[in-house]
Amino acid sequence: MNIVALPSWEQARTRLVSTVPQFYELEPGGALTLDLGEDGWLLEVRSDGQLLCQHGIAMDDVKSLMCDGTTEDLGTDEVAKQAKYFLGPAVSKKRPALLKAGFSEQTDMNDEYVAITFHKTVDFDRFDEVLAAVRWCQNLFKIQP
Amino acid 57: pLDDT = 81
pLDDT band at 95 (very low <50, low <70, confident <90, very high): very high
Amino acid 72: pLDDT = 61
Tell me, yes or no, whether 1 lies in a domain: no
Q: Residue 144 above 50 pLDDT?
A: no
SS (H, E, C) 20-63: CCCCEECCCCCCEEEECCCCCEEEEECCCCEEEEEEEEEHHHHH
Cα separation of 139 and 124, whole Å?
21
Per mean pLDDT, which of 62-66, 134-138, 140-144 is the most reliable? 134-138
Amino acid 6: pLDDT = 66
Total domains in the fold of the chain? 1
Neighbours of 109 (CB within 10 A): 17
Tell me, yes or no, whether 2 lies in a domain: no
Amino acid 145: pLDDT = 37
Amino acid 7: pLDDT = 64
Tell me, yes or no, whether 64 lies in a domain: yes
Stretch 96-125: mean pLDDT: 92
CATH code for position 20: 3.90.1150
Tell me, yes or no, whether 32 lies in a domain: yes
Cα separation of 15 and 61, whole Å?
36
Tell me, yes or no, whether 19 lies in a domain: yes
Tell me, yes or no, whether 145 lies in a domain: no
Residue-wise pLDDT for 30-69, tens only, equals 899 999 977 789 999 999 999 999 998 887 777 777 765 5
Q: Domain range for residue 50?
A: 9-140
Stretch 97-124: mean pLDDT: 91
Tell me, yes or no, whether 4 lies in a domain: no
Share of the chain above pLDDT 70, in %: 83
Tell me, yes or no, whether 20 lies in a domain: yes
